[in-house]
Amino acid sequence: MKPLRTSCLIALAVIAPLLHPLPAAAQQGVAPDSVTLGYSGARTGPVAELAGEFLSGATLYFDALNARGGVNGRRILVNAVDDAYDPNRAADNVRKLVGSGQIFALFGNSGTATTQKAIPIATAAHVPFFAPHTGADALREHNAYVFHLRASYGQEIEKIVEHLTTLGVTSIGVVHHADPFGLGGLAAASRALAKRGLAAAVVAPIASNGADAADSAKRIATANPAAVIMITAGNSSAAFLKALQQTGQQPMTYGLSVISSKQLIRELGEKAHGLVIAQVVPTPFRVDYPVVREYRQAADKAGQAYSHTALEGYVAARTLSEALRRAGRELSREKLVSALEEMRDVDIGGLRLSFSARDHVGMDFVDLTVISRGSFAK
């Protein structure tokens, strides 16, 4: 049977054989009327809401594109499977997706440790992997098949530390996940501080589910730094801020783009106040960029609340679709890689991006946004 085709065109299980199999020599994942992408991400678990936002934004674009006839006469389908933010489960998912012979490329898989497991599998199979939803610096060594769209966590942290030190703030603590995402972020923060002759005033690990948030908050409160950089995502973010507020200490708080701001605002309400967040796309709460206006129209039509992460997914889907268009009707993985590498100084709705044969990172956009009384400042 064909992949499930909900209104979102998302399949939640590994794709079964197509009703009309392609000839053996045909490109895997490409049918006369469709091209299928594979996605492994947290549909459940501590970062499920964050991963869901990225995928929902991508789906907004793919749905609208498919309604117009797709790319070169092919609709774009996404086969999305749940890894619950578990690296081993992600590896198993990607192995099955690639081994099924029915996906053309990987798209947007979420998480640092999960992506770390996925990359070698995709690379060994010569499967393009576009826009993994992670900014981990350690995953950005050049790879012929992996293309990153967003700025790195290191760039986000550098922007935060630059901002703080420009204000004269030098007492800066770090709270981080005790996993590859958090440890990589801690290393990036240490580098940014050392560049300015500083060291972290306090370092506090936290579990990704936030179960030990009270201990982490106590460690931060005891050291009482002027500011705290939160290398957290999903459930841990709101859990830490709640626990920190209960200590009575009020350091300035800064988070990365994957902090799960939508979830955080919902859980904290007006107590989500003064938090500064690095973002890798423009704010969706203003219409300064054409791509933001386009995204907002699609979100309004679908009844979706605006989200930086959903906008990131939308931009990723828009960029990949443009690369598929450039790759032509006689689609192959090699042609997609070449098309991406030839996208130099391309305008994606006001955002400029560039890839090349030597540089597979498309954008370095980083901006700082502020949450005030439970909403983003406009």
Are 146 and 65 within one domain? yes
Instruction: List residues bridging with 105 in a β-sheet.
Output: 37
Reported as a pLDDT band with limits 50, 70 and 90, residue 167 is very high
Confidence at residue 377, expressed as pLDDT on a 0 to 100 scale: 67
Instruction: Round to whole Å and give the CA distance between 216 and 208.
Output: 12
Q: Is 320 found in the same domain as 261?
A: no
**Taking 70 as the threshold, does the pLDDT of residue 215 lie above it?**
yes
3 within some domain: no
Q: Which residues pair with 148 in a beta bridge?
A: 361
Kindly state the average pLDDT of the residues 162-172. 98
Check whether residue 265 and residue 300 sit in a common domain: no
Pair of tokens at residue 342: 């030839």
Residue 32 domain flag: yes
Structure confidence by residue, pLDDT tens digits, 130-160: 999 999 999 999 999 999 999 999 999 999 9
> 235 and 358 in one domain?
no
pLDDT at 25 over 50: no
How many whole angstroms separate alpha carbon 330 and alpha carbon 32?
Answer: 10
pLDDT of residue 319: 98
Q: What is the mean pLDDT of residues 352-373?
A: 96
Provide the domain limits for residue 214.
153-279
Q: How many Å apart are CA 76 and CA 65, to the nearest integer? A: 8
Q: Among 181, 177, 90, which Cα is nearest to 129's?
A: 90
What average pLDDT does range 300-312 have in this prediction?
Answer: 96
- Look at the alpha carbons of 279, 236, 305, 83 in this order and tell me if their dihedral is positive or negative: positive
Task: Assess if residue 312 is contained within a domain.
Answer: yes
Average pLDDT, integer, range 281-294: 96
Which CATH number does the domain housing residue 185 bear? 3.40.50.2300
* Residue 374 domain flag: no
Number of domains within the chain: 2
Is the CB of residue 205 less than 8 Å from the CB of residue 219? no
Confidence of residue 378 (pLDDT cuts 50, 70, 90): low
Do the beta carbons of residue 75 and residue 37 sit within 8 Å? no
Whether residue 205 contacts residue 182, with contact meaning beta carbons closer than 8 Å, is answered with yes
User: What are 67-98's pLDDT values in tens digits?
Assistant: 999 999 999 999 999 999 999 999 999 999 99
Q: Give which of 184, 239, 249, 185 is closest to 210, Cα–Cα.
A: 239
Asked if residue 258 is part of any domain, the answer here is: yes
CA atoms of 193 and 113, how far apart (whole Å): 25
Q: Is the pLDDT of residue 337 over 50?
A: yes
For residue 20, the model assigns a pLDDT of: 40
Task: Show which of 226, 245, 279 is a domain's final residue.
Answer: 279
